[in-house]
Chains A and B, each alone.
Chain A
Amino acid sequence: MTPTIERGPEGGFAVGPIDGLLNLARKHSLWYLLFGTACCAIELMQTGGPRTDTDRFGMVFRSTPRQADVLVLAGTISYKMASRIRLLYDQMAEPKYVIAMGSCANTGGLFQESYAVVKGGDLFLPVDVYIPGCPPRPESLCEGLMLIQQKIEREPWLKKAWGKYKSDKPDPMPTEGCEPLR
């Protein structure tokens, strides 16, 4: 699937299946939503900063879900916030990916005894990558974003775009046939 770069005397060109070329373009423009619910968002900001510098992978933050590809669940999610997050996710355009960042977004973490906290983001969103840590360091989040890149690389994108591809991560609350969370 991965395109190969051929170099000739008068320049280079890439050879490969069209899926691979599309994926190559997609994985290097992975825009994440500038959104956080708790302290993990501080690390999310650091990840966009100059030290980790996700810009070099083409990852920049967008402030609107309409332009974002990745939703990073950065922080504790309360039930009140869950419906808002689901609304953000539903507004994002396909293809879209979700990263559960930190213990709280994975399982509820420190607050899983609470009455108000959702016990993991995967109970209402299809999560692609789980990052442990409380909070994870920017390197960890960067690795999580790179795992999304690897996932994109393997994806049969054309099949997916035409609806012939069954995802291995079913949406726990699909838009059709389920009462919307909001």
Chain B
Amino acid sequence: MTTASKEICKKLADKLGVVLDFREEAGDPWALIPAERWKQACLTARDEPELSFNFLRSLCGVDRPDDGVIEVVAHLFSYQHRHALVIHTNTDRSASRLESVSSVWPAAIWHERETFDLFGVDFTGNPDLRRILLPEDWVGHPLLKDYEEPDSYRGIPTTRPGYEKKKFGPQLKKPAPKKPAPKVEKKPEGGEAPKGTAGSAEQK
């Protein structure tokens, strides 16, 4: 699988004429495509006989406010060759815009609608770019890290009376206080037990 995956990306890079940032340690091969070559890369991946990625498994977004980008990730699969590829691209976070690949794989229409709904990525060329999960008059894009939920939607409160308002976005970025670290030092003789507490703290 690993040798094949390297060939897949090499083939794709040769056809596009660009050097792709490529990783293969994550399982499926993973390549970063420049945003302006996005549709061309998808067309190449579908039409090149040795690649022939005829199936779009999924297309989604990732918000990375620290880098100022919204990633768009597409998982591709080829039924002929039984191989997979993950391609992704970075769009500008302040005005995220990307060419639609709905003409390459029609399944992308709904995936792009979802990405538009939750991240606000504007897919130019999508024939039906509306919200898909949320109502059409919803304000905001909920999976952005700086999303603030409105207090109500058409008279329905978004928080149950008597409950605290949910905290989205910036609050999540605060690192958790590292209290368990001194505890581990205090109990060195405990054998495996301190390791267990330290491990659970790291997981949190």
The interface of chain A, by Cβ under 8 A from chain B, is 78-80, 82-83, 107-108, 112-113, 115-116, 118-120, 123-124, 172-173, 178-179, 181
Could you say which residues of chain B place their CB within 8 Å of the CB of A181? 154-156
In this complex, which of A120, A123, A124, A178 has the most chain B Cβ atoms within 10 angstroms of its Cβ?
A123
Contact between A79 and B138, CB atoms less than 8 A apart: yes
Of all chain A residues, the one with the shortest Cβ separation from B147 is A115
B153 interface contact, C-beta 8 A:
yes
Could you say which residues of chain B place their CB within 8 Å of the CB of A173? 155
Q: What CA separation (Å) do A179 and B137 show in the bound complex?
A: 15
Interface size on B, residues (CB 8 A): 18
The interface-forming segment of B88-96, B101-109, B157-165 is B157-165
B133 interface contact, C-beta 8 A:
yes
Contact between B134 and A79, CB atoms less than 8 A apart: yes
Known A113-B166, A115-B149: A123·B135 in contact at CB below 8 Å: no
Main secondary structure on chain B at its contact with chain A?
A: loop
B34 interface contact, C-beta 8 A:
no
Contact between A78 and B133, CB atoms less than 8 A apart: yes
B142 interface contact, C-beta 8 A:
yes
Q: Within residues 2 to 30 of chain B, which ones have a CB less than 8 A from any CB in chain A?
A: none
Of all chain A residues, the one with the shortest Cβ separation from B152 is A123
How many residue pairs bridge A and B at CB < 8 Å?
Answer: 45
Q: What CA separation (Å) do A119 and B135 show in the bound complex?
A: 16
B86 to chain A, nearest CB (A): 26
- Picked from B135, B142, B154, B160, the residue with its CB within 8 Å of the CB of A107 is B160
User: B17-55 interface mask toward A, CB cutoff 8 Å, 1 = contact, 0 = none?
Assistant: 000000000000000000000000000000000000000
Of all chain A residues, the one with the shortest Cβ separation from B142 is A115
Contact between A116 and B156, CB atoms less than 8 A apart: no
Could you say which residues of chain A place their CB within 8 Å of the CB of B156? 79, 82, 118, 123-124, 181
- Picked from B133, B154, B159, B160, the residue with its CB within 8 Å of the CB of A116 is B133
Could you say which residues of chain A place their CB within 8 Å of the CB of B153? 79
Known A124-B155, A179-B155, A181-B155: A83·B160 in contact at CB below 8 Å: no
